[in-house]
Amino acid sequence: MSENINFFLNEENISDSLEDNDLSLILNEIHSNESETMLNPQNMDSLFHEVVNYNINYTVKQLLQICEYYNILKEVKISKCKKEEIIDTIILFESNPENYNIVFRRKQLWFYIDELKNDKFMKKFILWK
């Protein structure tokens, strides 16, 4: 089923509003909205769930493997971090939008490993520390 959408654009209003607002004000508003979305309750809930997931389902050894994959193992070992601190480091790394691709790839590969380990035939070919 398709619906028709009609809208009217009044160019005079747009040009007037752009003249009234300075570009820097617009940019400041965009940046403030970005920072608000980073700290919104949904993101905080998601981060909390990730912390709980890592705390319950992963050993320190497994967390260190994740750190090694992200190339942050050196920082963790130098600081002599405890499990909670390792989890915080991983969460901080994974919550950075610049690291999205590597985080996605790591989670994808870990999923494949789990699938192979759970397969009756393939599990004998998987060596995973």
The pLDDT tens digits of the residues spanning 29-60 come to: 555 555 544 555 567 777 888 888 899 999 99
Task: Give me the chain's average pLDDT, please.
Answer: 77
d(CA 127, CA 21): 61
| Token couple for 75 | 């920082």
Q: What is the pTM of this model?
A: 0.62
What is the gyration radius of the CA atoms in the chain, in angstroms? 23
d(CA 40, CA 62): 29
- Whole-angstrom CA distances from 95 to 3, 34, 47, 59 are 39, 14, 8, 21
